[in-house]
Structure 1
Amino acid sequence: MKRIVTLMLAAMLVLGSVAGASAADIKAKGQWDFSFEWLDNTNFQDGDQDNAGEDDFGAKQRLRTQIDIIASENLRGVVYFEMGDTVWGRTDGALGTDGKSVEVKRSYIDWVVPNTDLMVRMGLQGLALPGAVAGSPIMDDDVAALTLAYKFNDMVGLTAFWARPYDTAGNESSDNNTFDEMDVFGVVVPVTLDGAKITPYAVYASVGKDVPVSSTTPTDYNGSSYQQAIYGLRPANAPSAFGDDTNAWWAGAAFELTMFSPLSFKMDAMYGNVDAEEIGNIDMDRSGWMVIGAVDYKMDMMTPGLFAWYASGDDDDQTNGSERMPYISPDFGPTSFGTDKVGAPIATDSIVSVSGTGTWGVGVQLANISFVENLKHTLRATYYRGTNDEEMANYTSLRNTTNGLYLTEEDSAWEVNFDHFYKIYENLDLIVEMGYIKADLDEDTWGTDEFSDAWKLGFNLKYSF
C-alpha cells in the first residue's frame, strides 16, 4: 500500500511540474472612452447639415482591452480587442443593443531568439514610422507584419520589418497566380546620445499589378480606394488598374534635442516617391517631401511652444504625376480638430488634413497650463495654407476623401483649440475640447463663396484599467 501511495504522489508531482511548466500568467489592461460632441459645418459648406446629414450632437463610446498571455520573459502572446465605436442610438447602440461590434485590433506573439538579444514580433500589430513632432505623415496603423528588433548597446538599436497591408483580389480556390499584394519592407535605426536622439529610417513598398482600384477594394484609413490613398489626387482619365513594376519608397529621420533643457527642439524630415509606368498619356509617378519642427520651453506652470511644417504641393500640370508626398496610412496632427494626433481618443478631428501633405502651417501654443492640482489646459492657434497650384482645383474637389481639404496656394484657414484635461480619479480622466476653424477658401478657385466656419465642443471620459 505504501508503494502505491508513493507512486501516486510521485506521479502527481511529475504532472504538477509539467502543468507548471506550461502555465502562463494572464494580464488585462485597456480603456473605456465616452464622447459627447456638439459639431457644426465640419465640411465648411453652408447647408452642410441638410446636404450631408450632419448631426449637431452625437454620443459614442468604445472599449479597447488588451490581454497579455505571458509564458516567460522571453515569450508572450497579445490579443487586443476593440468594441465600438458605438454611436448611441444607432445599430448596436440602439434600443436593445446586442450588436456585433467586437473586433480583433491586434493579435501577435513576442519572443526572443534563444541565446540572443533578437526580439521577434509576428502577427497583427501596431506599426508606426518615427515621428518626433506630431506622429507619422506616412504610416501609423495596425497591420499584419513581422518585426525584428535588436539593441547593439545603450546607444544604437535596429528594427526591421515586413508588413502586408493589402492582399486584395486573390482567390484561394483558383489556380491563377495574381499579383494582388502590397508588401512593405522597412528599417529603423534609433541612435540615442547624451541629450539628443536621431532616428533615421527607410521604407520600400512593392505593389502588384493586379491590385484593383475599384470602390470595392479594401479601403485606406479614410475610406477611399488604395490608388487614391497612395496617389492622392487621381489624374483625369487615369486607368482603373496598376501597371507593371509599381514601387514606392520613403526615407527620413526624426530628431530630438533635449540637452538645453528646459528648452527642447524636435524635427522630422522625410521624402517619398512612387515609381509607376506611364499608362496611356498619364504619368502615374508621385513624389514629394515634408519637414516638421517644434520648439518648447518647459516652465513650472505651462509649456510655451512653437511648431511649423512645410510640405511640397502639386504643380499646374495634372498629366505629369503628383508633387505631393505619398503615404500609406498617416497619423499626423499638431492640433486637436483640423488634424489627428493630439486630443481625445475618439473625438472628431482630421477635417483639414490627415497627413499635412500639400500644405504648410505654423502654430503657437501654451500647453499644460496648470494652476489647480490635476487640472491642465492647452491653448493653441494654428494657421494653414495650401502648397498646391490653384489650377489643380479643376481636377479634384475641395474635400479630397484621402487627405481632408485640398488646399491650394489661394486657400488658407485658422484654427483655435482650447482643450482641458482633468484627472477625476487615478484611472478616470475628463477631457474637454473646444475647437474653431475659419476657412478662407478662394471663390475664384472653387466657384463658390458658400463656406462656413467649423466648430466643436466635446466632453470625453476615459477610464483606464
Structure 2
Amino acid sequence: MKRIVTLLLAAGLVFGAFGGAQAADIKAKGQWDFNFEFLNNTDFQSKEHGGQGGDTFAGKQRLRTQIDIVASESLSGTVYFEMGETIWGKEDGALGADGKSVKVKRSYIDWIVPNTDLKVRMGIQGLALPGFVAGSPVLDDDVAAVTMSYAFNDMVAATAFWARPYDTGGDQDSFDTNTGKNAFDEMDLFGLIVPVTLDGMKIQPWAMYSSIGKDVNGGAANYNQTSWGQAAGGMLPVGKVSFDKDTTAWWGGLSYELSMFDPIRFKMDGIYGSVQADDEAWERSGWLVIGSLDYKMSMMTPGLFAWYGSGDDDDANNGSERMPYIMPDFGPTSFGFDKPGAPIATDSLLSVSGAGTWGVGLQLADISFIENLKHTLRVAYIKGTNDAEMAKTGGADLVLKNGYGTAKAYNGLYLTDEDSAWEVNFDHTYNIYENLALIVEMGYIKLDVDEDTWGNNEYDDAMKLGFNLKYSF
C-alpha cells in the first residue's frame, strides 16, 4: 500500500510540474556561426616591415541561443546565451575543449502596463540608436536598461530609455574609503526616439544624454575593460586616457528614409554629439552625416553612399572636434568598417564609427544570376579629416605604430587630411538550405599614409578571404 501511495504521489508531482511548465510557452531560436579566414597584414605592416599582420589562418565558431518564455501577449521573458567566439586550437577550442565560454548576452522581460498600450522592457538588452544607412555610429550594443515604448497612432510612436553601461565601484560604490566621500563611479544614459512613419517616408529624430561620474574607474576588475576602453576612446580627446572629473555628454540626430519613388530609395543619417567638462582640453564635440541612394533592379541594386565626419583641428588645447561615440555598429564597408549584420569576421581596420573621416563609395548589391546565390561588389575611397598638425604634435599617443593611432587595439586608425585609403569588397551569400547559408567575404585595403606626418614607414596592403557558414534555427 505504501508503494502505491508513493507512486501516486510521485505521479502527482510529475504531472504537477508538467502542468506548471505549460503555464508559459517556451520558444527557442538562434544561430551557429563558423568562420575560416585567411588574413594578410591586418595592421598594414608585414612582418618584413616590423608588423604582426603577416599571412594568417584561423578557424572560429560561435553559438547564440535565444529562449523566450511567453506567459501571455502582455508578459514574456527572454534569455540570450552566447558560446564563443571560440578560436579553434586556443583555450576552450584546444584539444580536450571543455571550456567555460558560455555567457549571458541578454536577459530581460517584456510587459505591458495594465489597461494601457505602454510596453516596458527591463534587463540586459540590445539597445541601438537609429542608423538607416550603415547602422549607428554612436551606440548599438547590449546594456542593462529600462525602455518604454508607446504608439500614439499608426504614424507616430516614442521610445524612452534609461541605461547604465558602467558602475565601476561594485558593492561599495556609494562610499570611497580613501577620501571619506561618496564615490561618483557610474555612467548613465537617458534617451528618447520618436519614429514617424508617413506614406513613402520614415523620419526618426532622437536625443540622448549621459552623465559620467569623475570616479568611474577604467581599471576596475568587475566589468569588461575592452568594452570600456572602446567607449572611453570614443569620448575623450587625443592624448586623454580616462575621466578624472564629472563629465556630461549629449547627442542629437535625425534619420530619414524616402521610398515613395520606389525603386529609387534615399536614406540619410545626421548626428551631432558633445562631451563637456570643466576643462576645455577635455571637451569633444563633432558631427557626422551619411547618405545613400539606391536603385533596385530585377537582378541587382546599384547604389552610391557617402559620409563626412568632422575632424580635429591643429590645437590640442581646445579638446577634440571629432564626434564622440560610446559603442557603435557602423559599417559602410565590410573590412575597413563593421558592417551591421555581418558574420564573424575581421573588420574595423580603418574605423569603428567614421568619426574623423570622410568617404564615398559605389556598390552593386544583391547581384543574382543564379537562384539562392547573391553577390555584392563595393568600392570606396576613405580620407581623414583630422588636421595633420594635430598628429605631428600629439606625441607618443598618436604614433601610427603597427598601423594604429590612438586606442590602437579597437578604434581603428587616426587618419589625417593627408592620409587616405582605397577599399574593395566582394562578398557572396549562397543559401545551401533554407536555414543554412555560406557567406564568402573578400576584402582589400590600400592605405596611403603621409610620410611627413608619420615618418618614413612602409605600410602594406591588407587582405581578407573569409568563409562563413551560418545555421539559423
2:77 aligns with: 77
Map 1:432-451; keep pairs closer than 5 Å.
432-451=440-459
User: Secondary structure, in 3 states, of the residue corresponding to 1:143?
Assistant: strand
Aligned-pair CA distance for 1:283: 1.3
Map 1:13-24; keep pairs closer than 5 Å.
19=19, 23-24=23-24
1:318 aligns with: 316
How many correspondences in the alignment? 446
Aligned-pair CA distance for 1:271: 0.1
- Residues 62, 300 of structure 1: alpha-carbon distance in 2 compared, 3 angstrom cutoff: same
Map 1:47-196; keep pairs closer than 5 Å.
47=47, 51-52=51-52, 56-172=56-172, 175-176=175-176, 177-196=182-201
1:403 paired with 2:440, answer no
- Residues 18, 95 of structure 1: alpha-carbon distance in 2 compared, 3 angstrom cutoff: closer
Aligned-pair CA distance for 1:397: 2.9
> 2:65 touches 2:80 (CA, 8 Å); kept in 1?
yes
1:413 aligns with: 421
> 1:214 touches 1:225 (CA, 8 Å); kept in 2?
no
User: Secondary structure, in 3 states, of the residue corresponding to 1:451?
Assistant: coil
> 1:44 touches 1:439 (CA, 8 Å); kept in 2?
yes
> 1:92 touches 1:98 (CA, 8 Å); kept in 2?
yes
1:253 aligns with: 254
Q: Give the residue type in structure 2 aligned to 1:367.
A: A
> 2:45 touches 2:52 (CA, 8 Å); kept in 1?
no
Q: In structure 2, list runs of 5 or more residues that go unmatched.
A: 1-7, 177-181
1:199 paired with 2:204, answer yes
Instruction: Report the TM-score when normalising by structure 2.
Output: 0.90
> 2:215 touches 2:244 (CA, 8 Å); kept in 1?
yes
Q: Give the residue type in structure 2 aligned to 1:187.
A: L
- Measure the CA separation in 2 of the matches of 1:137 and 1:344: 16
Aligned-pair CA distance for 1:230: 1.4
Aligned-pair CA distance for 1:28: 0.3
> 1:301 touches 1:370 (CA, 8 Å); kept in 2?
yes
1:346 aligns with: 344
Q: Give the residue type in structure 1 aligned to 2:70.
A: I
- Measure the CA separation in 2 of the matches of 1:221 and 1:416: 29
- Residues 120, 49 of structure 1: alpha-carbon distance in 2 compared, 3 angstrom cutoff: farther
- Measure the CA separation in 2 of the matches of 1:121 and 1:41: 43
Aligned-pair CA distance for 1:178: 1.0
1:26 paired with 2:31, answer no
Q: Give the residue type in structure 2 aligned to 1:130.
A: P
User: Secondary structure, in 3 states, of the residue corresponding to 1:367?
Assistant: strand
Aligned-pair CA distance for 1:277: 1.1
> 1:438 touches 1:452 (CA, 8 Å); kept in 2?
yes
Map 1:201-220; keep pairs closer than 5 Å.
201-214=206-219, 218-219=223-224
- Measure the CA separation in 2 of the matches of 1:371 and 1:105: 38
> 1:36 touches 1:59 (CA, 8 Å); kept in 2?
yes
2:379 aligns with: 381
1:231 aligns with: 236
Q: Give the residue type in structure 2 aligned to 1:242.
A: D
Q: Give the residue type in structure 1 aligned to 2:413.
A: L
> 1:220 touches 1:226 (CA, 8 Å); kept in 2?
no
2:4 aligns with: none
Q: Give the residue type in structure 1 aligned to 2:423.
A: E
2:244 aligns with: 242
Q: Which of residues 454, 460, 464 is equivalent to 2:462?
A: 454
Q: Give the residue type in structure 2 aligned to 1:202.
A: A
Q: Deviations over 1:185-226 (max 9, x none)?
A: 000000000000000000000001111244868456667265
1:5 aligns with: none
Aligned-pair CA distance for 1:391: 1.4
- Residues 19, 314 of structure 1: alpha-carbon distance in 2 compared, 3 angstrom cutoff: same
- Residues 232, 137 of structure 1: alpha-carbon distance in 2 compared, 3 angstrom cutoff: farther
> 2:62 touches 2:84 (CA, 8 Å); kept in 1?
yes
Instruction: Report the TM-score when normalising by structure 1.
Output: 0.91
CA RMSD after TM alignment: 2.3
> 1:344 touches 1:460 (CA, 8 Å); kept in 2?
no
